[in-house]
Amino acid sequence: MSLTDHAYRSLRHMIVTLELAPGAVVRQDELQAQLGLGRTPIHHALQRLERDEFVNVVPRRGVFVTNVDVMELPTLYESRATLEPYMARTAALRGTAEQWNRMRLVLESQPTAVAVEDKVAIEDKVAIDRECHEIIWEAAGNRFLSKTMDMLYAHSDRLWHMHLIGITDMDQSLVEHREMLDVLEAGDGDRASALMDEHIRTLHEQIRDVIGAGLRSTLS
């Protein structure tokens, strides 16, 4: 991984997990010290983050973390619901035993059941969910779509951190991945696609319901 890639992933993780909150000023000198990186990789990473709409670069004012517009949730869901089932279908046809063994090991690393408010355990489960998706994208063998999925997942993950962490348990999501793994190993592309579609729809409905409840509470 290049220094720019390292800077990009580190900064994006800080934005997704709200360590850098929406609207926050991104101070490049502080990031250099925090990440132990030079100015150039930080600068290039911020350019990539701007293209992916995680930051806004305002001339003569600075760099700011983008705000999250919940009204764009349907568009985000539409994008993932279109691409993720295709990736799962293709992965079922192209995936290798090594990839599915790796996915099984990832799922077996799930933390033991804990209270839903245990943020550390929830974050661990989110990391498992993401790694399962990454293995499926890798198995699909399309690096162009994999880059797109990586960006879309990060935006979904950010919405999840803003609205769902501490409210929902990730156990059901990991159960869905175990079921998906079985059909991926069996090479059943149709079933893998259907399960992925259901998985993405469930996440979308959870976020939509929580956001809707918050908006109704604000208006009442």
Confidence tier at 216 by pLDDT (50, 70, 90): low
Domain that holds residue 82: 70-219
Q: pLDDT of 19-67, one tens digit each?
A: 999 999 999 999 999 999 999 999 999 999 999 999 999 988 999 999 9
Same domain as 172, residue 198? yes
Give the C-alpha separation, 51 to 49, whole Å.
5
Identify the CATH number of the domain in which residue 47 sits. 1.10.10.10
Q: What pLDDT score was predicted for residue 114? A: 46
pTM of the model: 0.86
Q: Dihedral, CA atoms, 180, 186, 190, 192, nearest 10 degrees?
A: 10
Q: Do the Cβ atoms of 30 and 62 come closer than 8 Å?
A: no
Same domain as 177, residue 141? yes
Total number of domains constituting the chain = 2
Q: Which two tokens stand for residue 206?
A: 């959870």
Same domain as 7, residue 33? yes
Confidence tier at 166 by pLDDT (50, 70, 90): low
Q: What pLDDT score was predicted for residue 167? A: 57
| Average pLDDT for the chain | 88
pLDDT at 210 over 80: no
Same domain as 109, residue 147? yes
pLDDT at 218 over 70: no
Q: Which two tokens stand for residue 207?
A: 């976020």
Q: pLDDT of 114-140, one tens digit each?
A: 444 566 677 888 889 999 999 999 999
Q: Which of 65, 83, 109 represents a domain boundary (last residue)?
A: 65
Give the C-alpha separation, 66 to 94, whole Å.
37
Same domain as 87, residue 25? no
Q: What pLDDT score was predicted for residue 160? A: 82
Same domain as 60, residue 74? no
Same domain as 174, residue 114? yes
Q: Identify which of 146, 15, 128 has the alpha carbon closest to the alpha carbon of residue 68.
A: 15
Q: What is the DSSP string of 106-125?
A: HHHTPPPP--TT-HHHHHHH
Tell me 21's DSSP state.
-
Identify the CATH number of the domain in which residue 169 sits. 1.20.120.530
Same domain as 102, residue 60? no
Same domain as 79, residue 153? yes
3-state secondary structure of 19: coil
Q: Which two tokens stand for residue 48?
A: 């990539």
